[in-house]
Amino acid sequence: MHTNPQQPQHGYPPPHPPTVIVQKRGGGCLKAVLIGTAVLVGLVFLGAVLGGGSDKTGETTAASAPDGEEPKRAGIGDVVKDGKFSFKVTKVEKGLSQVGEGFTISKAQGKYVLIHLTVKNIGDEAQMFHDSSQKLIDAKGREFDADSGAAVLGLKDSNAFLNNINPGNAVKGILLFDVPENIKLKAVELHDSIFSDGVTVTLTR
């Protein structure tokens, strides 16, 4: 008597279908475990990143502005740098109606302000210092250009008109500005060239 292989024998089902079902169930469980593990790792990593960023921001804020104080601004007597030059404003004179003597006298439209400073070349090649690159700023935010012509004629020690300074050398110069009377000075903006960002020195005490 021949037996049909597709029919169950002795009341038991054929082995092939249960084997397929077990494999499918096992694969589904494994996939679920892998997905769950990946999600958990991702959440832990995200929490660590967010926590680290918060601490870093706090340290930066504390370092840049401790106790809520504003950064100290450079003033008269402080050394500041821009490009190849360092600058030190040593004295400010104001209220002069004229500079020079005899044929070299120049009279101000308003009043002259003289900014005495030391300029040093901190670069590795010669650099031209020119007063036309410098700006005087008043309390209203207005900018004033230097009076190069009056400085050349009336100031013996101006050293601020097309003065080429070699590396390591320093010169003492005077910037001359013609400004309105009773002006309230705020700062002088110093540049190593007309194209530089410049650095600000506060003139108020």
**What pLDDT score does 42 carry?**
53
Alpha helices in the chain (DSSP H): 16-64, 148-154
| Of 127, 123, 143, residue with least CA distance to 135 | 143
Residue written as tokens 């996939």? 31
Which residues of the chain have a pLDDT value below 50?
Answer: 2, 18-26, 33, 41, 44-65
**What pLDDT score does 71 carry?**
66
In three-state secondary structure terms, 28 is helix
**What pLDDT score does 160 carry?**
86
CA atoms within 13 A on the CB side of 159: 14
**What pLDDT score does 32 carry?**
53
**What pLDDT score does 161 carry?**
85
**What pLDDT score does 157 carry?**
81
**What pLDDT score does 34 carry?**
53
Residue 96 CB burial class (10 angstroms; 0-12, 13-18, ≥19): middle
Q: What is the CATH number of domain 79-202?
A: 2.60.40.1240
Q: Torsions phi, psi of 183, nearest 5?
A: -70, 145
**Nearest-5° Cα angle at 119, 114 to 121:** 160
Q: Whole-prediction pTM value?
A: 0.65
Residue 91 to residues 38, 120, 125, 194: CA-CA distances in angstroms? 68, 17, 28, 23
**What pLDDT score does 72 carry?**
77
In three-state secondary structure terms, 82 is strand
Per residue in 145-179, pLDDT (tens digit) is: 999 999 998 998 888 888 999 999 999 999 999 99
